[in-house]
Amino acid sequence: MKLAETDLTAKEKEGKWFKYRDHHGNIVPGVELLIASLECEGYVLEVQKKMRADANRALGGKRGKKEILPDIERQAEVEDAALARHILLDWKGIENDDNDDPQPCTLENRLKALGRPRFREFVIDAAGDTAAYEEAELGNSPNTHPTILADANSSSTGSQ
């Protein structure tokens, strides 16, 4: 194997369009999200940098072997900010909650959307789906989210 084979693909860096699925696994017509891989360098570096800075502040600037456990709420806040900046890149079909106008994909709106647990879960699951990016790179992508589809199919067949 060549080390270059471990580099992120263009699709992982630039994002892939995923058809949004609701919590039942059903495609929501007209809603698509452009999502980069969770392995995207900007995301990883931002989360690591901010969490290290928090740990350093907790130690009073002293470096040592004492382990600092991150505040769960702070960690989610850091991750959401990094997701909004580096992972959730664009969307189609998202409407304003007050009317049917298209919701612009601004940083502020991405942060609000990621504050909704089911939406956030979908983005994280899609961003972690390396097989979907590999398929997209090969041009074989059905533009769906196979992990969530598989989960929905297994839960529907498991109840029969």
Q: How many CB atoms lie within 10 A of CB 46?
A: 18
Summarised one tens digit per residue, pLDDT across range 38-73 is 888 888 888 888 888 877 776 665 555 555 556 778
What pLDDT does 154 receive?
A: 38
pTM of the model: 0.73
Residue 123 belongs to what H/E stretch?
Answer: helix 117-127
Give residue 160's pLDDT band: very low, low, confident or very high (50, 70, 90): very low
Least confident of 94-108, 124-138, 141-155: 141-155
Summarised one tens digit per residue, pLDDT across range 85-115 is 999 999 999 998 888 899 999 999 999 999 9
From the list 106, 59, 55, the residue with the least C-alpha distance to 85 is: 106
DSSP 89: E
